[in-house]
Structure 1
Amino acid sequence: MGPVSAQVFDSSTATIAVVTFNRSGLLSRLLESVVVMDPKPGHLVIIDNASTDDTTEVVESFRERLGTELVYRRLETNTGGSGGFSEGVRTAYELGSEWIWLMDDDVEVLPDGLARMGHWAPRFRSIQGRRYDFDGSEFYWQYRIAERMGIPIPFAPAGFGASGYKEMNSGCFEGMFINREIVARIGLPDPRFFIYWDDQMYGWLASRITTSVIVDEFVLRRTREIRQWDMGIRHMNASSDAYRYYIMRNRAHIKNYYRTNGVYNPVLFGLGTTLTFGKELIRLLFVERTVRGTSNLFRGLRDGARIARDRSWRPMQPLTDQPAL
């Protein structure tokens, strides 16, 4: 990370990029929260993953109320969260945005959220804020990964010291606040993930060239209730067959990125994959309360093996002439 700048954060240089799919009711709540934000971003980008509900009408009904420039792009096909965020970052980058704030459609922004993130912008280039859960509790996000295993560390300390931040080596597209300089160097989020592991990988790539941090600032609130297994400080959310498939398949994309960056250890990474498989079995038993769904885990492993053997695989490329990571 370069020297700390005394420059004051200019909210007009920031863009909020939202990915949505067939959840116009939730999107409406997010847009209502943008209406009352102070300060507001210079742009609001909405990437619609080919919704078939009234998303377009809902978005247009807010255009005159938002108080910021709205850019709405409806994709021809559903590219998953990964494809949506890739397009969202691309659009925001092409708009000249200095800062890009990524989020799903099932959150709302707290009124002073952008000011709180902007407070840290002169110092860091990859920042994660905090979020309240649906019930108002403080959501714990696993902000560090065991790098060689490629999995989150569930017992990373939850508390913040006097500094108000902790270094992270991961990322979450539900609130990632990233500078265009970092985007230029690591490229766009990889749409090939479709869903899952994409934001962890993007945050990891960012942390290799800058000091990435999670800050003790509550800036978002989840607006959708998710079935959970309450384990005290930690929670395990419900999942789906699609998530189970991509959780395992996309381990191959992580493996390929690790190979490219020279950090791949077959034994440790294999252990991470085994632990991931075991975690999903636990999720099935204790959250979903079923044993059905294991076939999707095996199918993901099978298809991932093909990706890992693909000699034509290449990482996403930088948007500048600087060398790829």
Structure 2
Amino acid sequence: MSPTRRDDFFVVVTTYNRQEYLAQLFDSLALLKPAPDGIVVVDNASTDDTPAVVAAAASRFASLPVPIPVIHHRLQENTGGSGGFSVGVERALAEGAQWLWLMDDDVTAVPGAIAAFGPWMDKYDALVGRRYDSLGEPFFWQNNFSTFLGFPLPVAGDVFATSNEFATNVGCFEGMLLHANAIRSVGLPDPRFFLNWDDTMYGWQISLERPVMYVNAFVLHKAREQRSIDLGIRHLNDSSDLSRFYVMRNRGLVGQYLRVHGRYNAFGFALGTILTAGKEIFRLIGVEKTLRGSARLWDGWRESRRILADSSWKPMPSLVGKS
């Protein structure tokens, strides 16, 4: 790849107690051609052998003909995916990263992924590549965020029918590629989300200033199998009680970000909250075949009201002007 805007390419991984998946991810990163310039692993206080897996990878990558630093950033407590990516992005920027490829620990990279991103890296600052599911089938990810509802709506049909790029206004931390310029403009990912909505809102904030492009290039495989159903216009995966709590609790943060940008509509947002709860109940019934866990939705909604009522709430600060 030419060196224009493609130098200092870092992979940023957030992990928690998934040592086997993390080892598979490292195996795939070792096959990337071209290779990244650095790897930052944020360890969310894992209690398994994650530190040993990272240490082995660091030794492996250091012995390559062109050594690649593997930076193990271990946290003292589990801050969730949101906190992990916030810290990971900050650390990668401090290490000199210009491009940051964000991913969870339960994916593997396609060997030619960095080169596949190449055609768009000279044009855009925020990219989301395509993914395969655990069975090797294309994973559906195409939606646009409705500011009226505060809710992402799936886009039906083939968004790549006439072009290899699709302008969206959401992000996905499972494979989103960001230039440092975009990050500095909106600030670090918000750790207050812990789980859910963090990447959606981060991509939305970026889209207010510059394009966010979903591109027709497969860059990741989902390694972890999940129960799911195909709804035609999207796939719906299984979840957890923790995720159910945060998907409702973080409606408060979504509403606050909409307010900051002058896009909050009380009626529309309430409707979007109902849609969110309805989607999660449908997930419980349709995918997990139970209603156990629905109480966590109620708990999360009550917490969201407290967040939404906080008149002192502030968004994450911009990093423009900071070294």
SS at match of 1:144: strand
Counterpart Cα distance in 1 of 2:193 and 2:46: 20
Aligned to 2:42: 47
Tell me the CA shift for residue 146 of structure 1.
1.6
After superposition, residues 281-292 of structure 1 pair within 5 angstroms as 281-292=281-292
Are the counterparts in 1 of residues 134 and 222 from structure 2 also a CA contact under 8 Å? Answer: yes
Asked if 1:91 is matched to 2:61, the reply is no
Q: Which moved more, 1:150-159 or 1:280-289?
A: 150-159
Counterpart Cα distance in 1 of 2:12 and 2:31: 17
Counterpart Cα distance in 2 of 1:82 and 1:265: 26
Aligned to 1:108: 108
Are the counterparts in 2 of residues 12 and 40 from structure 1 also a CA contact under 8 Å? Answer: no
Aligned to 1:136: 136
Tell me the CA shift for residue 9 of structure 1.
4.9
**For residues 168 and 188 of structure 1, do their structure 2 counterparts lie closer, same or farther at Cα, with a shift above 3 Å needed?**
same
Counterpart Cα distance in 2 of 1:70 and 1:156: 40
Tell me the CA shift for residue 12 of structure 1.
4.1
Give the AA of the match of 1:57. A
Q: Which moved more, 1:308-317 or 1:166-175?
A: 308-317
Counterpart Cα distance in 2 of 1:9 and 1:152: 34
Aligned to 2:33: 38
Aligned to 2:231: 231
After superposition, residues 1-325 of structure 1 pair within 5 angstroms as 8-9=3-4, 11-66=6-61, 67-232=67-232, 234-321=234-321
SS at match of 2:47: coil
Counterpart Cα distance in 1 of 2:311 and 2:165: 40
Counterpart Cα distance in 2 of 1:16 and 1:230: 30
Counterpart Cα distance in 1 of 2:164 and 2:298: 42
Counterpart Cα distance in 1 of 2:123 and 2:6: 15
Counterpart Cα distance in 2 of 1:108 and 1:263: 37
Tell me the CA shift for residue 247 of structure 1.
0.6
Residue by residue over 1:156-183, the C-alpha shift from the partner in whole angstroms, topping out at 9 and shown as x without a partner, is 4433044310001000000110110111
Counterpart Cα distance in 2 of 1:47 and 1:305: 31
Residue by residue over 1:96-124, the C-alpha shift from the partner in whole angstroms, topping out at 9 and shown as x without a partner, is 21111000001111111011112210001
Tell me the CA shift for residue 234 of structure 1.
2.6
Counterpart Cα distance in 2 of 1:162 and 1:65: 43
Q: Percent identity?
A: 44
Counterpart Cα distance in 2 of 1:12 and 1:41: 9
Length-normalised TM-score, structure 1 = 0.94
Counterpart Cα distance in 1 of 2:169 and 2:151: 11
Residue by residue over 1:120-142, the C-alpha shift from the partner in whole angstroms, topping out at 9 and shown as x without a partner, is 10001110000011001001113
Counterpart Cα distance in 2 of 1:185 and 1:231: 36
**For residues 11 and 64 of structure 1, do their structure 2 counterparts lie closer, same or farther at Cα, with a shift above 3 Å needed?**
farther
Counterpart Cα distance in 2 of 1:201 and 1:46: 23
Give the AA of the match of 2:52. E
Are the counterparts in 1 of residues 57 and 70 from structure 2 also a CA contact under 8 Å? Answer: no
**For residues 316 and 276 of structure 1, do their structure 2 counterparts lie closer, same or farther at Cα, with a shift above 3 Å needed?**
same
Length-normalised TM-score, structure 2 = 0.95
Are the counterparts in 2 of residues 48 and 73 from structure 1 also a CA contact under 8 Å? Answer: yes
SS at match of 2:306: helix
Counterpart Cα distance in 2 of 1:224 and 1:120: 28
Are the counterparts in 2 of residues 42 and 69 from structure 1 also a CA contact under 8 Å? Answer: yes
Tell me the CA shift for residue 65 of structure 1.
2.1
Aligned to 2:64: none
Counterpart Cα distance in 2 of 1:142 and 1:244: 22
Tell me the CA shift for residue 233 of structure 1.
5.2
Q: Which moved more, 1:146-155 or 1:114-123?
A: 146-155
Counterpart Cα distance in 1 of 2:37 and 2:183: 18
Structure 2 residues without counterparts, runs of 5 or longer: 62-66
Counterpart Cα distance in 1 of 2:68 and 2:209: 32
Counterpart Cα distance in 1 of 2:216 and 2:111: 16
Are the counterparts in 2 of residues 127 and 178 from structure 1 also a CA contact under 8 Å? Answer: yes
Are the counterparts in 2 of residues 171 and 203 from structure 1 also a CA contact under 8 Å? Answer: yes
